[in-house]
Amino acid sequence: MIGDKVLDVREIDKRLRKMMILNLFDALADGQKLELISDHSLAPLYKLFQKEKQGFFEWTDLENGPNVWRIAILKIESLNLTINDIVRQFPFAIDILENNGISYFKRGSEKLHDVCAHAAAVYEQIRQTQPFLVNPLKTDLWPIHFTADYIVNNHHSYVKKSIPEIENLIDHLVVAHAATHPQLPMIKEQFASFKAELLDHLTDEENIVFPSYKKLEQQSLQNQMMVDGFDDAISWMKEDHILTGSSLKSMRNFCNNYVAPADSSPGFKILFEELKKFEVDMHFHIHLENNVLFAKVMDLLISMGAAKS
């Protein structure tokens, strides 16, 4: 391909090689190759790319010594990325995915072009909007206990703080404007039902599910095997998440896609903005559980021989 790069690392100071290679790779366009020539095996570099560029490259050995080693690294971006890959590399892409109706929190393991008819345009919008970032949250490095604690301290805490604030906004609008906007009592009823289900779900996670994941992690460190029921628990949690997504979608429909009525008071706009923020946070919350935490638990179970890969 025109624009492919060739770098002879034998001519570069060893202290500068890694940074130069990574910078050259990052500067490649989708589908371009970087060919490297070396006087020693490049296996350590392959491990580095597996760690930092997972899903974004294809490695081909061209020559394997004994005097010269040559490899080609193909850059892969839009061709084979899953939605999880995209969210890891572009964490703020969730707004663009949301705006294009892409349920990243439910379909994270699927490829973008399999869930979106105009995937190339969406991906280009993401690339043009944001700089290329290498997993700022570094979720691939998080142990299970940290992942669970992050979800509780960041997302569960937000939910518990936001719910009473949103309820107060709804109550105020119902009292002041229900006569002219009959959808308000329905919004109140819908949110109350959603709140009850969600808080029960969070309680189960904090008191039962997440502690069991932490215990599993500890058992694995001690070479113990007490892992019955985890597959079923994960399936149950994912089913709850589907119900949560349906409730959020229903709420959005009640709220006219969070577009305030033209003749409404400023309170409508404030309420709808808060509900939209709540929904976006909930989507990312579910993403972290479905696509990060649960995946880590399943990987651990597989490594312990307690689940099928």
Position 272 scores a pLDDT of: 92
- Could you tell me what percent of the chain has a pLDDT over 70? 90
- Start-to-end Cα distance in the chain: 37
Helix, strand, coil percentages in the chain from 3-state DSSP, rounded to 5: 65, 10, 25
Q: How far apart are CA 19 and CA 26, in angstroms?
A: 11
The distance of Cα 2 from the centroid of its chain, to the nearest Å, equals 33
**Angle made by CA atoms 21, 23, 25, in degrees to the nearest 5:** 70
Report how far residue 306's alpha carbon sits from residue 309's, in angstroms, rounded to the nearest whole number.
10
Residues (pLDDT < 70) of the chain are: 1-2, 54-55, 78-80, 91, 130-136, 224-232, 306-309
Instruction: Give the Cα separation of 234 and 300 in Å (integer).
Output: 13
Q: For residue 171, which amino acid is it?
A: D
The CB-side HSE value for 93 (13 A sphere, CA atoms) comes to 30
- Is residue 193 within 8 Å of residue 250, measured between CB atoms? no
pLDDT of res. 305: 72
CA atoms within 13 A on the CB side of 18: 9
The pLDDT of residue 219 is 85
Peptide bond into 211 cis (omega under 30): no
Its pTM stands at 0.67
What's the confidence (pLDDT) of residue 308? 54
Record the tokens describing residue 229, joined without a space: 């029921």
State whether residue 8 is helix, strand or coil. Answer: strand
In this prediction, residue 238 carries a pLDDT of 85
Domains of the chain: 5-75 (3.30.110.40), 83-129 (no CATH), 139-303 (no CATH)
